[in-house]
Structure formats: C-alpha cells, structure tokens
Structure 1
Amino acid sequence: MSRFARRRLLALAALLAPLALRPGHAAAENFPSRPLTVIVPFAAGGPTDTVSRLVAEAMGRDLGQTVVVENAGGAGGTIGAQRVANARPDGYTLLLHHIGMATTPTLYRKLAYDPVGGFETIGLVTEVPMTLVAKKDFPANTLAEAIQVIRRDQEKLNYANAGIGAASHLCGLLLMKAVDAPMTTVPFRGTGPAMQELLSGRIDLMCDQTTNTTEQINSGALKVFSVTTNKRIPALPNVPTSAEAGLPAFQVTVWHGLYAPKGTPPEVTRRLSAALQAALRDPKLVARFAELGTAPVAQEMATPEAHRTFWLADIAKWKPIIQAAGQYAD
C-alpha cells in the first residue's frame, strides 16, 4: 500500500471513530423499527389515560409503528415514572404524565429516581381545565351555595382525590385554601375509582379534569359548580368560571407532557417530538379533545425546549403551595 493510500485510510478511520464509539447511532438513525410503549402512571379509565390513548394512536400513525399504552399506577404516579426513568434510553419506553411531574420534586422528599434529572422532555400535549363537581344530590346548585355548605359542614363532607400528588389532590388543596375550610380527604388509587364513588353518592365532592367529567356533567350524572379557568370552555358553555362564581383564587389547569429516559439520543427525541407535533395536528385527535373540553397546545410548546422551560417554572410555582400545606407523600 502506498504512503498516500495509507494516509487516506487513516484519515477515514479517524472520521469513523466517533461513530464506532456510539453503538446506538445506527439504531437512532433507523428509529423507530419496532413498537413503542407509553407508560401512564395512573389507573386505566382516568383523564391522563384518556389523553394518552388518543396521543399514542395519533403518534403511531406518524411513526409507522404501534404505540402501546400501559398503565402502571400507584404512589401518586411515581411507580410509572420510576419505571421510565430506569428504562433503556432508546426512545421505545416513554412516559405521559400530567402536572404531577411539577409537584413530585416537593411532595416526595425521598425517591429512588431523580424526578427532574431522570428525564428528557419531548413536548407538552394539552392543558386540561378542571371542574368542581359533586354527587347528584349534593345540597347546592351554585358555587356560592356550595361554599356555604362546605364552610358549614366541612367536618362531615368527603372530598375525593386520586392520591397525593394527583391533579385532583392539588385542585382540592387550592379549593380548601380559597374557601378556608378543610374537608375530610379520601384518596383513591386513581381517578377512575374516585369517580365511581362520586357517581354512587358515597363521596360528596371532587375536582377532576374535563376529559373525565364533561360527559358525566352533560348526562346529568353529576352536579357541576365551576370550571377552574379564567374563561368558559366550549364543551361546557353554561358552566361559569370560578372567578365568575365569586372565587377568583380557585384556578388551575392540568398540563400533560411526554418524556423519555435521560440519555435518549437527541435525534430520537427530535423524531418523537416531530411525531407528537403531527399527532396534535391530527383532525381526529383535535375533534376528540374538543369533545372532552380541551385542545392541543400550540405547536411551539410541543418541543423539548419549551416543555422543559414550562416544567421547571411550574415546579417553582407549586413548591411554596405544597410546603405551606405541609402535606407530603412520604
């Protein structure tokens, strides 16, 4: 071999060396080559499960692969989150979680995984309004009347939530702070079981996302007192906002985001983010979201960078509220 040929071979080897040190590079280039799994850290039938299944189906169409939704509930969403944080960072195991990702770092003082550093952000999905609902025979018909009942009978009333750290728990904290009347709190293993108890009349009150209450409200199965947003929503046009009903401090929306394990290659997270953005433009998903009282986020929010900025800001927002309440999950 000539000296010139040897130099060219050495130069080519130097160029290829970085790729040889990245065993996942070829896999990332071909991503995805098999089905993906989205872990929902709550029980089936709840609002986050509903959102996840719609998103998974739409993302699957863009990715050309099946996206399977798997429920791994318990411990306020931390069991499912830990499973994803510990998963192989190849983009095939994802987490779709709600606002609990912003409260877990404060609610849990000891965790077996890093609740912030253990994940790569992919993009936000939706911000879902919440509703304050009650059993069908609750002795009030407006929010003002409900506040009177809560203040009068606070020790007798049961407020349901889906566990400490769940959206319904956080909404309840805000409600009780706003009306200055603590109620007996009954935690359940997920929103689905809590809703069943409310529908049966064994529970008095609950905050829940419109994705889980709109159909129940419209059918007359539940009473509704307000939506927790600053303006009314199209799916429930006759339901006043909390501010309209005289409780402006009672406002909260539940955002959802998609995550991958820390260390997932940037080219994979970019592909997943692009698939998420395509899903949020999907007419079928948009229409179904509207029926459930929500809408996809703006496209620029369905990016890793915007998602992380929003997430870190919400952690800072909820930290003092949780600390003031003094309620921790461990």
Structure 2
Amino acid sequence: MTRSSTSRRWALRACAAGAVLALGAGSAMANNWPDKPITLVVPYTAGGPTDVVARLIAVPMGQSLGQTVLVENTVGAGGTIAPARVAKSKNDGYTILIHHMGMATAPALYKKLPYDPLKDFEYIGQVLDVPMTLLSRKDFPASNFKELQDYVKKNQDKVSLANAGIGAVSQLCGMLFMHQMGVKLTTVPYKGAGPAMNDLMGGQVDLLCDQTTQTVPVIKDGKRAKVFGVTTSERLSSLPEIPTLNEQGLKGFDVKVWHGMYAPKGTPKDVVDKINKALNVALKDDNVKKRIAELSSDLVSPEKATPEGLRKHLEAEVARWDKVIKAAGVTAE
C-alpha cells in the first residue's frame, strides 16, 4: 500500500469519526434541550396584534417545554429587522421568530432584503389566521360604507390613512383599499399598530385597516371609532352584523393575516420537533382558545401547525403576494 493511499484512508476515517462526534453532540443537545429560557422574537411593538398573539401562546409553550419563553420586541424597517436577527442567530433553538404574512410580502416589497424567507429558516408551524377590519375616527363624516366611498372619492386629498409602518399588514391592506377604490390618500406610517390605533381614536387620523386582535375591543366598545367592514370573503361569526368589504362593492377583497413560527436554518430537527409540540400544546390550551375566539381570530388546524404545513403555505403566499404587490405598485426601500 502506498503512502498516499494510507493517508487517504486515515483522512476518511477522521472525517467519519468527526461526523459521528457531531451527530452525537447534536443528539446530546436535543436530549438536554431546553436547559435555559427561549426567546420568541416579535417584529413589532408591544401591544400590537402579533405581540398579543406571541404573549398569549408563550406561557403554555413555556410550561410545556419546562422553560420560560421570553417575548422580545425587535422593531424597525417594516418588520424586517427581527427576521434578519433570528436568521443570523445561533441555530440552537433558543432564539425563534413569530411573524405574520409579512414573511411572504417582504421579498416583493423590499429591493434589498437581508434574509430569504424560503432559505434562511426552519419552519415550526402556522399559528392562527386573523381577519382585518376597516375603521375610522368616531367623528368621521361617513356613517356607512357607501357614504365612505363617496366621501373618500370627493375628498381624497383631505383623507388620511394610518398604518403600523412600512411593510406592516395594515399598510398592505390600506394600499389594496386605495387601489380598488381608485384613490390616493395621505398615508401616515406609525411605529406599530398600537400608536396608530391610539391616534385614530384620538381623532388625529381618519382611517385605519388593522387586525381584529387590535380592533375588536374598539368595535365592541362602539364609542371610540366607526367600523365599515371586514376584509374576509365571509362575515365573521363573532361580528355577524358587520358586512364584508367584498359584499359592499370591493369585489375580491380578501385579506386574512396568518402567523407562523420559525427557527434559524440548521436548527436540529429534534429541537424543531420539540418546539412544534409545545406550539400545538399551546393551541389546545383552553385560555388560548377562549382569548383567540374573543379576538375574532381562528387557530389553525393541526395539519397547518406543522413544519410542512407552514412551508407549503409560505411558498404559496410568496408567489401570491408578489403578483398583488407589483400590480398595486407598492414598494419600500
């Protein structure tokens, strides 16, 4: 046997030994995981719709995992800073992300996105679907959707439309509303849904399209804002008296905000499976189900609350919103 062949054989043995050690280390980590708190990163401000969902499921998830799940709000750049942070985090399962449909719209909205939603993450599972509603300040001149249409078309240069910031679903919903109405309103971006809602109720802005997790308490109060319709194709069982925008003339208007949970690419499958199991425990929690129903939202089916369910949905949504956003002419730097 030649010296070169002997060297190659020793090199192959070394590689094999290294692979076994790496596999063993990964298995050991998965077996001991978690042995410290997990951070659940939210791309938006505290008190906003996604934050409400995160804090609601964090408690039962933590109980299931035997460790605290800490909610961290990492805001900015239209919700793209948080995914970028998680994508670059250590892939040990201790830093995970909850994000809404912004994961699917960001590739079309931003020219230079610091991460790839389809390549830089491991999928944990879908969480819930959230309808949206169109609201106005309580003293807005219109009292129903027909009056709103007439007023907006005649006074578009005077009407302001709030959103939770560039890239937020409220911005996308508002842009689609303007596109289908054939008007251009003065858009007012905020640093989160909470501040936008506060200014709407305070009368500083005219209109806002936002998620039911944020708007249902205001709608049921009936004194702080007016509601003109829901964004889904069918009426909500919790708000049956409120017609859809579709049935009132905006044909095909259907926006439902879905949420998913992600981990950095390369997170061990055993760890992802443990997080997924904890997520599914949380989705069956009685308090979670009660609170989500109160917010007129829908927890996803067990089939959707899986890595494969989220992967397929994200791929389909990226393709869908790419066409919608480009047709609407919505872009961000």
Same fold (TM over 0.5): yes
The match for 2:295 is: 292
Q: 1:48 aligns with which of 35, 50, 71?
A: 50
Q: CA deviation at 1:15?
A: 9.6
Deviation per residue, 1:278-311 (Å, 9 max, x gap)? 1111111000000111121001100000101000
Q: Deviations over 1:114-160 (max 9, x none)?
A: 33311111000011000000100111121121111111111110000
- Mark the CA change 1:323 to 1:140 in structure 2 (over 3 Å): closer, same or farther: same
Give the secondary structure class of the aligned counterpart of 1:155: coil
Aligned to 1:20: 21
Match of 2:331 in 1: 328
* 1:126-145 map, 5 Å: 126-145=128-147
Given that 1:211 and 1:292 are in contact with CA atoms closer than 8 Å, whether structure 2 keeps it comes out as yes
Residue 267 (1) aligns with residue 238 (2): no
- Mapped to 1, the partners of 2:273 and 2:16 lie a distance apart of 24
Q: 1:108 aligns with which of 88, 110, 113?
A: 110
**Alignment-derived partner of residue 230 in structure 1:** 233
Three-state SS of the structure 2 residue aligned to 1:38 is strand
SS at match of 2:52: helix
Deviation of the 1:62 alpha carbon: 1.4
Note closer, same or farther for the CA distance 1:138–1:14 as it changes in structure 2 (3 Å cut).
closer
What runs of 5+ residues in structure 2 fail to find an aligned partner? 1-13
Match of 2:198 in 1: 196
TM-score computed with the length of structure 1 as normaliser? 0.93
Report SS of the residue matched to 1:110.
coil
> Match for residue 247 of structure 1?
250
SS at match of 2:152: helix
Q: Secondary structure at the residue paired with 2:131?
A: strand
**1:54-73 deviation digits (Å, cap 9, x = unpaired):** 11112112112110101011
Q: 1:65 aligns with which of 48, 67, 74?
A: 67
Rounded Cα–Cα distance in structure 2 between residues aligned with 1:127 and 1:309: 16
Q: CA shift at 1:14, angstroms? A: 11
Is the 1:127–1:255 contact (alpha carbons within 8 Å) kept by the matching residues of 2?
A: yes
Count the aligned residue pairs: 318
TM-score normalised by L of structure 2: 0.92
After superposition, the CA RMSD in angstroms is 1.6
* Structure 2 Cα separation of the partners of residues 297 and 133 of structure 1: 26
Larger displacement relative to structure 2 (52-61 or 202-211): 52-61
* AA matched with 1:238: E
User: CA–CA distance in 1 between the matches of 2:87 and 2:332?
Assistant: 19
Look up the SS of the partner of 1:203 in the other structure.
Answer: coil
1:108 CA displacement: 1.1
Q: Secondary structure at the match of 2:108?
A: helix
Separation (CA, whole Å) in 2 of partners of 1:234 and 1:41: 29
What SS does the aligned partner of 2:80 have? helix
Moved more, 224-233 or 93-102: 224-233
After superposition, the Cα gap between the structure-2 partners of 1:15 and 1:115, relative to the gap in structure 1 and judged at 3 Å, is: closer
- Match in the other structure for 1:305: 308
Query: Is 1:160–1:194's contact at 8 Å kept on the other side of the alignment?
Result: yes
Distance 1:58 1:311 in 2: 25
Report if aligned partners of 1:19, 1:25 keep a CA contact under 8 Å in 2.
Answer: no
In 1, Cα distance between equivalents of 2:83 and 2:266: 15
Task: Specify the SS of the correspondent of 2:299.
Answer: coil
Aligned to 1:251, the other structure's residue is in SS state coil
Q: Distance in 2 between matches of 1:251 and 1:126?
A: 16
**Aligned counterpart for 1:171 among listed residues 167, 170, 173:** 173
Between the aligned partners of 2:252 and 2:147, the Cα distance in structure 1 is 17
> Counterparts of 2:15 and 2:171 in 1: how far apart (Å)?
56
1:189-247 CA distances to partner (integer Å, 9 max, x unpaired)?
11111111111101000100000000011112110011111222133221111223232
Give the drift of 1:43. 0.8
